Amino acid sequence: MMTGLEITNLKVGYSRNEVIHGLDLKVNPGEKVALLGANGAGKSTVLRTISGLLTPTEGSITFNGEEIGGSNPANLVEMGVIQVPEGRRVFPGLNVEDNLKVANYGKSPDLLEEGLEAVYKKFPILQERRKQAAGLLSGGQQQMLSLSRAIIAKPKLLLIDEMSLGLAPLLVKDFYEQLADLFSEDVTLLLVEQNAGLALKYCSRFYVLRNGELVLESNSEDYKDNPTALQSAYLGVD
């Protein structure tokens, strides 16, 4: 049953500290949706919960009709729930190619060959540096590697956490412009960003989270020319 991602009344936090206070959010199959909000709003917490790193204390998360809340992260990866983590976490001590190989976990070696070819075609610099430790790459190259790992993992539901963090604006703009090209259009995407301008260009809908509560949900179209209104929603000023 292709119903995409459905989150209902999600409550989750860290030990006794609840961070998300009953979130309802939906991403239809193949839809590109942004989750926006200021520092500490809870965006990464939501993504970490979808990818199984945190267990909901209440509520439900389904993907294509199947309950995935609290599932084992490795099982979710096999289902195609793939996260590109904040801070582009690669394995710094592994070389570039080994980082990519790990992303093929549980899939056939043929798929890996195919994936490597596709990724090296998109990012030739990764091929050039394939035997170098990933920790020695520049920030931009690490983001390429992090996205490439997701490409190889063949996502059905892709969760991208703040690609813009710590990267030069021009580089980030490049990544956003390439996104449509990097992943097939039937991939369902939930994209976390602090930089709303970028996210709205790529996503057709968005949600704004403030202190773990939804404060706005809209089509991107309605806000493209009104970044100030969006900013107010973030920060809670009128």
Ligand X SMILES: Nc1ncnc2c1ncn2[C@@H]1O[C@H](COP(=O)(O)OP(=O)(O)OP(=O)(O)O)[C@@H](O)[C@H]1O
- Determine, following the binding rule CB under 6 A, whether residue 190 of this chain makes contact with ligand X: no
41 touches ligand X by CB under 6 A: yes
Q: Residue 160, SS3?
A: strand
- The answer to whether residue 52 forms part of the interface with ligand X (CB under 6 A) is no
Distance CA 164, CA 173 (A): 9
Among 4, 33, 42, 85, binds ligand X (CB under 6 A): 42
CB–CB of 161/84 below 8 Å? Answer: yes
Phi, psi of 87 (to 5 degrees): 70, 20
Query: For residue 67, is it left (φ>0), alpha (ψ between -120 and 50) or beta?
Result: beta
Distance CA(2)–CA(64), nearest Å, equals: 5
Of 51-59, 78-86, 203-211, 229-237, which part binds Mg ion (CB under 5 A)? 78-86
Under rule CB under 5 A, residue 44 binds Mg ion:
yes
| Contact characters 163-182, ligand X, x per CB under 6 A | --------------------
- Spell out, one character per residue from 4 to 43, where the chain touches Mg ion: x when CB under 5 A holds, - when not: ----------------------------------------
Applying CB under 6 A, which of residues 7, 12, 19, 144 lies at the interface with ligand X?
A: 19
CA 23/CA 9 separation, integer angstroms: 5
User: Which positions touch Mg ion (CB under 5 A)?
Assistant: 44, 86
